[in-house]
Amino acid sequence: MAISVLGEAPSRGNLRFRNRKIMPRQEPRVPSRDLTTRPAAARDRRGMLGRVGPLPGAVRRVLGSSLVEGLTTPHGPDRYLRALHPLWSLEGGRALVTDVTGETPDMTTLTLRPDHRWRGSIAGQHVRIGVDLDGVVHTRTYSVSSSAHRRDGQLTITVKRKDGGLVSGHLTGEVAPGDVIRCSEATGEVVLPDPRPERLLLVSGGSGITPMAGMLRTLADEQHTGHVTFLHYARTHDDVAFAADLERIASALPDARFVVATTADRARGPVTGRFTPDHLDQLLPDHLDVATFTCGPTGLVDAVEAHYRAHDAQDALQVERFTPPTLQLHAGPGDGTVRFAASGIDRDDDGRPLLEQAESEGLEPPSGCRMGICHTCTQPKLAGGTLDLRNGRRSDRAEEHVQLCVSVAAGDVVLDL
């Protein structure tokens, strides 16, 4: 069983897409709110920004020279570039919002045109989105909900508004076309296998539909001929994002179906209510032998995991979590040394997560959620052992990436930090 815990993207050099005819597809658009009320100058600016692309590589190389750096001291060239166009920078990591689409009463899709750092995505991956609110950058992780084969270089994320959610409230209620937000490269290891399995089962709930939608849209653009069963759980049918598009895709593929099970609405399909293993038995009797992906609320994901584990079928299941499982308490100081090799710092392990120990030494590794979701704090481990607080699993592999906020040392450990 694979669980998404690392922020490192699989190498695209190992992907094979031979003998696949990729067909571009237009995403349906339903405006979620009236954006024409913005001043005419702002609307004109949106149009101008949309026509200007990322800064060309040759220009970036010239502007990155020591001569230009000296001429633009103390601010550096980026400050002047962004005054001309917000996507123009040397470091990159930003995206222009080109469209805003309402999916459900509390879910909104943003179409983004990323800058030169974007290298595309693999179906199932996610990006870190950052917004500047009152001078502070807040970062959250969102799955890519569009096909990995978009020809226009854009991507979509779909955000569910949370009560009191600072970032989700901003993205679903304030952001409009023409705005620029921070956007990382795509990462994540729970992705569609390549070559594609002949049979696939996708199980999602709530906003967990977003990475699954990206997978199905990718398969549609590849004109996939294998079997796909997509089972989604929602409170009502009005709460299902992309419903019409996913139904259309499933109907167009030769052997696919999209099934919705609701918990507070009249049943329209073969299964209803909250997840039970009987649903999978009914839809796909041999599902334990089928490559399965699940994403959604903790209760759903835990139940699917327990079912596969009870039948010793963990290897068939891949899990993407939006909320972390309960952290396992790690009592007392450790008996090893934590070495931050790049900084030349050694310290006795005190048992706390590696992120906290790094910060105690005055280091400032990037971090976000601090609970294993956003992957911002992922850093290379050069040697030694670590323990994952979410599941108690120990890893003694060298040269792997670990999430500092949910990892503790298991003996001596060396980090490239």
- State the Cα angle at 231 between 230 and 236, rounded to 5°: 130
Taking each helix axis from N to C end, the angle separating 243-252 and 209-221, rounded to the nearest 10 degrees, works out to 30
Alpha-carbon dihedral sign for residues 102, 108, 114, 119: negative
Please give the CATH topology (third level) of the domain spanning 199-321.
Rossmann fold (3.40.50)
Per-residue confidence (pLDDT) for residue 330, from 0 to 100: 56
Model pLDDT for residues 54-102, shown as the tens digit of each residue:
666 665 565 555 655 656 566 665 565 565 566 666 567 889 999 999 9
For residue 218, CA distances in Å to 87, 151, 232 come to 27, 12, 18
What pLDDT sits at residue 56?
A: 63
Query: Region 20-30: what's the mean pLDDT?
Result: 46
Q: 3.10.20.30, 3.30.56.10, 3.40.50.300, 2.30.30.100: which CATH number matches 337-415?
A: 3.10.20.30
Q: Do 199-321 and 337-415 come out as alike in CATH topology? A: no
Q: Where are the domains of the chain?
A: 20-183, 199-321, 337-415
Write down the pLDDT at residue 45: 46
The pTM of this model reads 0.71
pLDDT digits (tens, 9 = 90+) for 291-318: 999 999 999 999 999 999 999 999 999 9
Among 33-47, 79-93, 200-214, the least confident range = 33-47
Please state the rounded mean pLDDT for residues 174-181: 94
Does residue 49 surpass a pLDDT of 70? no
Residues ≥6 apart with Cβ < 8 Å to 405: 353, 354, 355, 367, 369, 370, 371, 372, 377
Question: Cα separation of 262 and 271, whole Å?
Answer: 8
CATH 3.40.50.450 fits 20-183, yes or no: no
Cα angle for residues 70, 74, 78 (degrees, 5° grid): 80
- Contact present, 249 and 220 (Cβ < 8 Å): yes
Q: Which of 147, 177, 173, 176 shows the shortest CA–CA distance to 160?
A: 173
Contact between 149 and 24 (Cβ < 8 Å): yes
DSSP state of 333: -
User: For residue 120, with 0-12 CB atoms within 10 Å meaning exposed, 13-18 middle and 19 or more buried, which class applies?
Assistant: middle
